[in-house]
Amino acid sequence: MSHTITIYSSDGGGSWITFLEDERLGELHDPLTEAARLLLARGYHPEDKLHLRHKGNTHVSLTASIGWAAEHSQTNRNTRHT
């Protein structure tokens, strides 16, 4: 299964207003990884795909499994997923 989050630019502070479908998840600094952690806590399967797209774009900017994204952050973003 796959899920898509959409991010909107915030008014500052380096955070992104983040939605899963029509549900606002909050203002997240690292939307892909933080949303993945929220979804895992809600019982989403770690092998489900999580897609990130920016408001107004139809294409997906980033994709990862929820489990992989939940284990990573911007500080270790150079870690490769194999």
Q: What is the mean pLDDT of the chain?
A: 89
Q: What is the pLDDT of residue 75?
A: 55
| 82 is a domain residue | no
| 54 is a domain residue | yes
pLDDT digits (tens, 9 = 90+) for 28-68: 999 999 999 999 999 999 999 999 999 999 999 999 999 99
| 63 is a domain residue | yes
The range of the structural domain enclosing residue 26 comes to 2-69
Cβ partners under 8 Å of residue 64, min gap 6: 32, 36, 49, 50, 72, 81
| 37 is a domain residue | yes
Number of domains in the chain: 1
Q: Could you tell me the pTM of the whole model?
A: 0.83
| 48 is a domain residue | yes
Segment 72-77 mean pLDDT: 64
Residue scoring higher pLDDT (31 or 75): 31
| 77 is a domain residue | no
Q: What is the DSSP string of 15-66?
A: -EEEEETTEEEEEESSHHHHHHHHHHHTT--TTSEEEEEETT--S-SEEEEH
